[in-house]
């Protein structure tokens, strides 16, 4: 069986560079890493985990804690994490931490305490104070995708801003009766929803429409948005002319409900979401785009930086978002109510 020396020779690098490249952490250019990986692969060299661990004190494994895997945002982040970790030869151990379950307690009490990972990535975890203390007490670097405080490095979009931007789009189209659909039911996404709701209220206030603001409570799922919208759109006289949904899944549920009730989108009702979900195009949904997959990739990069330099200060990385205008939003003016916005995807 070939050793690291043969791999280094074939790749034309030093043994320590080959070791760093195969270890997945420490600075090595992408080109060098690829060359070393190719050399290792052609020689059939598989680094022994225990040897790598002994040499580096590392497990070559990253723990990922998330409350759901069967939801668009989480699954997309997970794809991004997977791809990035795979490129670096690192394993991914997944910890499922649904809020309020025994399983979540066990994750925090038992699994994480085993420390079978070099670092942790917490996705949409919204940990309570006790859980944050436990996470930090493990003594491994932690990066959060969507965070709630200053305790860890965080990757996220600016939730207040995106909801504000979505609301302003509808205000600019002449709408006044603009409702916000989402949140207020479960603890899941409580913090994200609160920030988005706050951005909506801020934009309504800035437009002098505070007394038109309405929060329609909804589960943050497609069926949740559907159920909330069936209720809210049923009363013709109090029906809003436009809706800001807390995410695309809720927006799509709203559109499905509108179609059921014979409410035309966008001539009777404009709907805007947040996400650019894989189904957004199918529903011609206007939305604020984010890329959870990219957030996953950035989280891996930040975690590796903390592993390389444990003294590195925490930071908050705000990812960009972009207004994508499709056919679910249109101007209020009755004479123009049949005229829809050009369906070309338009970045602003």
Which positions lie near its own copies, rule CB under 8 A?
37, 40-41, 46-47, 49, 61, 69-72, 75-76, 78-79, 82-83, 86-87, 89, 91-94, 96, 103, 106-107, 109-111, 113-114, 116, 222-223, 226, 253, 256, 259, 278-279, 281-283
92 vs 190 by CB, closer to its own copies: 92
Q: How many CB atoms lie within 10 A of CB 13?
A: 20
102 vs 348 by CB, closer to its own copies: 102
Going by the DSSP 8-state scheme, the letter that residue 241 receives in this structure is S
What minimum distance in Å lies between the beta carbon of 66 and its own copies? 10
Q: Kind and range of the H or E element at 153?
A: strand 153-156
What minimum distance in Å lies between the beta carbon of 103 and its own copies? 5
10 vs 256 by CB, closer to its own copies: 256
199 vs 225 by CB, closer to its own copies: 225
CB 287 within 8 A of CB 273: yes
327 vs 337 by CB, closer to its own copies: 327
- In sequence order, what E strands does the chain have? 61-66, 91-96, 119-123, 142-145, 153-156, 178-181, 214-216, 242-245, 270-275, 286-289, 316-318, 322-324
Distance CA 288, CA 238 (A): 27
Residue 75 in 3-state DSSP? helix
Q: Kind and range of the H or E element at 95?
A: strand 91-96
What minimum distance in Å lies between the beta carbon of 96 and its own copies? 4
What minimum distance in Å lies between the beta carbon of 49 and its own copies? 5
**What pairs with residue 94 in β-bridges?**
64
What minimum distance in Å lies between the beta carbon of 318 and its own copies? 24
């Amino acid at each position: 069986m070939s050793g690291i020396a043969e791999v280094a020779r074939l790749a034309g690098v030093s043994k320590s560079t080959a070791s760093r490249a195969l270890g997945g952490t420490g600075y090595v250019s992408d080109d060098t890493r690829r060359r070393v990986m190719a050399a290792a692969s052609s020689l059939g060299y598989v680094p022994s985990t225990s040897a790598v661990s002994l040499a580096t004190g590392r497990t070559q494994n990253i723990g990922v804690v998330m409350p759901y895997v069967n939801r668009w945002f989480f699954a997309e982040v997970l794809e991004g994490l997977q791809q990035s970790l795979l490129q670096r030869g690192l394993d991914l151990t997944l910890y499922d931490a649904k809020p309020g379950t025994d399983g979540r307690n066990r994750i925090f009490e038992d699994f994480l305490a085993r420390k079978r990972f070099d670092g942790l990535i917490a996705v949409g975890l919204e940990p309570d104070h006790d859980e944050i203390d436990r996470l930090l007490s493990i003594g491994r670097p932690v990066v959060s995708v969507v965070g709630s405080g200053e305790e860890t490095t965080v990757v996220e979009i600016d939730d207040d801003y995106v909801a504000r931007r979505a609301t302003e789009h509808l205000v600019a189209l002449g709408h006044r009766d603009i409702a916000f659909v989402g949140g207020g039911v479960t603890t899941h996404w409580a913090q994200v929803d609160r920030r988005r709701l706050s951005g909506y209220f801020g934009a309504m206030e800035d437009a002098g429409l505070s007394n038109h603001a309405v929060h329609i409570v909804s589960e943050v799922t497609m069926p949740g948005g559907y159920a909330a919208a069936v209720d809210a759109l049923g009363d013709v006289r109090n029906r809003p002319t436009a809706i800001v949904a807390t995410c695309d899944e809720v927006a799509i549920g709203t559109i499905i409900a509108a179609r059921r009730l014979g409410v035309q989108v966008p001539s009777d009702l404009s709907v805007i979401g947040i996400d650019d979900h894989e189904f957004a195009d199918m529903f011609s949904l206007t939305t604020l785009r984010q890329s959870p997959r990219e957030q996953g990739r950035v989280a891996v990069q930040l975690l590796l930086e903390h592993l390389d330099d444990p003294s590195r200060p925490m930071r908050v990385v705000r990812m960009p978002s972009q207004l994508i205008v499709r056919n679910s939003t249109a101007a209020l003016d009755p004479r123009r109510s049949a005229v829809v916005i050009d369906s070309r995807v338009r970045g602003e």
